[in-house]
């Protein structure tokens, strides 16, 4: 199935990644700052590409194929709606994360809160995020690669799991040696390779006799499958994605800010926060996050969408969740020698970039926020890095074991969205409202699990009713807890304010600091946020209309994009977040 040239391409790529990892070994071993944040010296384009590469896992093109095959292009709104939250992070939080000087997202807890409640929350989240959530993500990424191996080579599940285990250990070796700087550099290479591979696949599949180019694809696919926007209603209209009013409100008005979800955390978090904190300065943090949002939503999707539409023509027998394997079949059936190896490398690259980040990110919580905070506070730098490397290997072993038990990626996605419902607003407001305290975040972290269990097993509700119930109960709970518990100590809040200089509702503290004359930039930031969202969607739709040869609509979206860009540039200068 693979020619000699294909194997040369695959082995050459893997060798390159290992060599890069070894080249950064000495620098990564100097300190935890070097190991987990690359010495806080990443330029914006490396940090931004690294964010995009991490979100491009082996499961991503398969998931998009399933969405498009089932619901048409408009099915992608199930993840396109997260842009609002991503842009919120860009303008309201990215510079603050970099300014905080913390090593991890979880370390911020004791910078913002004080006392035993803060220590408990930090330790709990270090284990919950660094171990539990992390290995679940690693598990579903491995499940996606196993699906690829089974569909492409006919590999039995047990053998596919063994191959994934071998690749994970390879990734663990180079990521534990190179630290974040090496991971970020390899991410950049892996992203370029992955995008080239997907673009080539779209080209070769379109060029087949069965498809007959873009005009042939348009003729052979129904109009509903090429619509960019969903119909809104309570029943199905033909094959078009029809969202009930409740689902529409949940996805477009609530999920992006109310739910904690890996890679789309309200206010930033996880590996996104890690990359912002690793940037050279606040300006680079803002640019990196802005580039991430644009590349994530505009550059990546269209090759996958084109292949997904072709799959509906080439493999009409694949329906529902089975449609995702059509992407793999297209690779297997229509790529020439050499290109087939490159496409496989692109999938391996996507897999490796995601796994390397998850291992490094998870280890940072377990080492910095649990081991060093609660077990060995006086560990010298050499021991800290050694523990970090051992932790990376241990996470690899646990991740492989979890991968053998996970059967449904979609099920895990739904679980994470609903069990984080209601937490998002606290993660946003802890930067912008002085009254939020450690008990607020503890309540917002724990309550969703209880509310979700009640909605599912007592009330027997499904999404979106279960989601609205969980958000409502969680929000009410943390608000009550906030007002019945004392605020954080005044001296601690003053220290936080002097360091971060946040905007928002801080007047009782602001007047006690050296920054009492600081003017609010909320209005300017809000305008940047709206214009950046419009700009990004305009690029997305303009590219799509160009691909489908609708030049009039492409021109309209181009004009909207240009106007929104001018507005963004003007008000971004007024915020001064690029010069602070």
- Mean pLDDT, to the nearest integer, of 363-392? 90
Tokens of 555: 């021109």
- Mean pLDDT, to the nearest integer, of 200-214? 91
CA distances from 344 to 95, 164, 427 (A): 37, 14, 39
pLDDT greater at residue 506 or residue 263? 506
Q: What is the percentage of the chain residues whose pLDDT exceeds 90?
A: 40
- Mean pLDDT, to the nearest integer, of 376-402? 87
Strand ranges (DSSP E) for 154-271? 231-232, 242-243
- Mean pLDDT, to the nearest integer, of 62-84? 85
pLDDT, tens digit, for every residue of 486-528? 999 999 999 999 999 999 999 889 888 876 667 888 999 999 9
- Which of the four pLDDT bands, split at 50, 70 and 90, describes residue 414? low
Tokens of 148: 């690829």
pLDDT, tens digit, for every residue of 336-369? 887 888 878 877 877 887 888 888 889 999 999 9
Closest by CA position to 533, among listed 557, 558, 565: 565
Question: Which pLDDT belongs to residue 556?
Answer: 96
CB 198, CB 430: distance < 8 Å? no
CB 206, CB 214: distance < 8 Å? yes
- Which of the four pLDDT bands, split at 50, 70 and 90, describes residue 235? very low
- Mean pLDDT, to the nearest integer, of 292-311? 92
Closest by CA position to 554, among listed 540, 571, 568: 540
pLDDT greater at residue 407 or residue 294? 294
Average of per-residue pLDDT values in the chain: 85
Question: Which pLDDT belongs to residue 245?
Answer: 54
Q: Which of 12-21, 207-216, 244-253, 475-484 is predicted least confidently?
A: 244-253
Q: Which of 29-38, 192-201, 228-237, 339-348 is predicted least confidently?
A: 228-237
Task: Count the residues in the chain.
Answer: 580
CA distances from 525 to 189, 403, 574, 575 (A): 33, 42, 9, 7
269 Rama class: left (phi>0) / alpha (psi -120 to 50) / beta: left
pLDDT greater at residue 265 or residue 558? 558
Tokens of 196: 């080239």
Write the DSSP assignment of 37-96 as a string of letters. Answer: HGGG-B-HHHHHHHHHHHH--THHHHHHHHHHHHH-GGGGHHHHTTHHHHHHHHHHTHHH
Contacts of 335 (CB under 8 A, 6+ apart): 200, 201, 204, 343
Residue with tokens 């709104």: 77
Does residue 241 have a pLDDT over 50?
no
Residue with tokens 């809000």: 526
CB 230, CB 67: distance < 8 Å? no
pLDDT, tens digit, for every residue of 7-19? 888 888 878 877 8
pLDDT greater at residue 559 or residue 234? 559
Report phi then psi at 323, rounded to 5: -65, -30
Question: Which pLDDT belongs to residue 441?
Answer: 96
HSE-up of residue 514 (Cα within 13 Å, Cβ side): 5
The residue extents of the domains of the chain are 4-211+245-419, 519-580
pLDDT, tens digit, for every residue of 123-178? 999 999 999 888 888 887 887 788 778 877 788 888 888 888 888 888 888 777 77
Does residue 464 have a pLDDT over 80?
no
H or E element at residue 411: helix 409-419
Instruction: Tell me which CATH code domain 4-211+245-419 carries.
Output: 1.20.1730.10
Torsion (CA) 565, 568, 571, 575 in degrees, nearest 10: -140
- Mean pLDDT, to the nearest integer, of 71-98? 89
Closest by CA position to 105, among listed 213, 262, 318: 262
- Which of the four pLDDT bands, split at 50, 70 and 90, describes residue 248? low
240 forms bridges with which residues in the sheet?
237
Question: Which pLDDT belongs to residue 561?
Answer: 96
Q: What is Dmax (Cα atoms) for the chain?
A: 73
Is the Cα dihedral 118, 123, 126, 129 positive or negative? Answer: negative
- In a 10 Å sphere around its CB, with 0-12 CB exposed, 13-18 middle and 19+ buried, how is residue 496 labelled? buried
Does residue 538 have a pLDDT over 90?
yes
CB 217, CB 313: distance < 8 Å? yes
Tokens of 544: 């799509």
Query: pTM for the whole thing?
Result: 0.88
pLDDT, tens digit, for every residue of 170-203? 888 877 777 888 888 888 888 888 888 889 999 9
DSSP 8-state class, residue 243: E
CB 229, CB 74: distance < 8 Å? yes
Q: Which of 63-72, 77-86, 315-324 is predicted least confidently?
A: 315-324
Question: Which pLDDT belongs to residue 234?
Answer: 47
Does residue 237 have a pLDDT over 60?
no
Distance CA 507, CA 354 (A): 42
Tokens of 318: 């694949």
């Amino acid at each position: 199935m693979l020619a000699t040239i294909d194997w040369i391409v695959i082995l050459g790529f893997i060798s390159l990644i290992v060599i890069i990892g070894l080249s950064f070994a000495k620098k990564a071993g100097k300190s935890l700052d070097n190991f987990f944040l690359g010495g806080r010296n990443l330029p914006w384009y490396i940090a931004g590409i690294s964010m995009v590469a991490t979100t491009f896992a082996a499961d991503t093109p398969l998931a998009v194929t399933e969405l498009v095959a089932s619901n048409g292009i408009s099915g992608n709104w199930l993840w396109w709606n997260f842009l609002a939250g991503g842009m919120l992070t860009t303008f309201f939080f990215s510079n603050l994360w970099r300014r905080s000087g913390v090593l991890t997202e979880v370390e911020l807890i004791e910078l913002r809160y004080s006392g035993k409640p803060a220590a408990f929350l930090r330790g709990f989240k270090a284990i919950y995020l660094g171990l539990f959530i992390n290995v679940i993500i690693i598990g579903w990424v491995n499940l996606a690669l196993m699906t690829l191996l089974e569909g492409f080579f006919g590999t039995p599940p047990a053998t596919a799991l063994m191959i994934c285990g071998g690749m994970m250990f390879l990734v663990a070796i180079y990521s534990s040696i190179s630290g974040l700087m090496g991971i970020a550099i390899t991410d950049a290479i892996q992203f370029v390779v992955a995008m080239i591979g997907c673009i080539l696949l779209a080209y070769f599949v379109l060029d087949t006799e069965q498809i007959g180019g873009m005009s042939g694809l348009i003729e052979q696919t129904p109009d509903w499958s090429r619509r960019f926007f969903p119909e809104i209603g309570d029943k199905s209209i033909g094959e078009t994605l029809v969202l009930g009013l409740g689902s529409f409100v949940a996805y477009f008005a609530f999920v992006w800010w109310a739910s904690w979800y890996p890679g789309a955390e309200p206010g930033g978090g996880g590996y996104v926060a890690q990359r912002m904190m690793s940037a050279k300065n606040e300006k680079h943090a803002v640019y990196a996050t802005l580039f991430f949002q644009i590349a994530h939503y505009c550059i990546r999707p269209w090759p996958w969408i084109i292949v997904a539409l072709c799959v509906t023509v080439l493999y009409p027998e694949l329906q529902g969740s089975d449609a995702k394997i059509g992407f793999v079949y297209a690779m297997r059936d229509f790529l020439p020698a050499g290109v087939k190896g490159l496409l496989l490398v692109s999938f391996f690259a996507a897999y490796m970039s995601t796994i390397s980040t998850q291992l490094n990110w998870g280890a940072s919580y377990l080492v910095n926020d649990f081991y060093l905070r609660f077990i060995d506070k006086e560990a010298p730098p050499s021991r800290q890095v050694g523990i970090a490397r051992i932790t990376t290997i241990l996470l690899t072993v646990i991740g492989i074991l979890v991968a053998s038990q996970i059967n449904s990626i979609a099920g895990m996605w739904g679980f994470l969205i609903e069990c984080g419902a209601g937490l998002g607003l606290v993660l946003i407001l802890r930067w912008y409202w002085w009254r939020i305290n450690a008990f607020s975040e503890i309540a917002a972290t724990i309550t969703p699990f209880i509310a979700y269990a009640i909605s599912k097993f007592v009330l027997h509700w499904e999404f979106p009713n279960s989601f609205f119930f969980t958000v409502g109960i969680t929000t009410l709970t943390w608000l009550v807890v906030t007002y019945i518990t004392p605020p954080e100590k005044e001296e601690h809040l003053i220290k936080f304010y002097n360091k971060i200089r946040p905007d928002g509702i801080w007047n009782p503290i602001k007047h006690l600091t050296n920054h009492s004359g600081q003017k609010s930039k909320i209005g300017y930031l809000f305008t940047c946020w709206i214009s950046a969202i419009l700009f990004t969607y305009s690029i997305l739709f303009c590219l799509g209309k160009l691909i489908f040869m609708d030049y009039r609509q492409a021109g309209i979206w181009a004009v909207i994009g240009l106007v929104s860009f001018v507005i963004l540039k003007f008000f971004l200068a007024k915020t001064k977040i690029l010069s602070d």
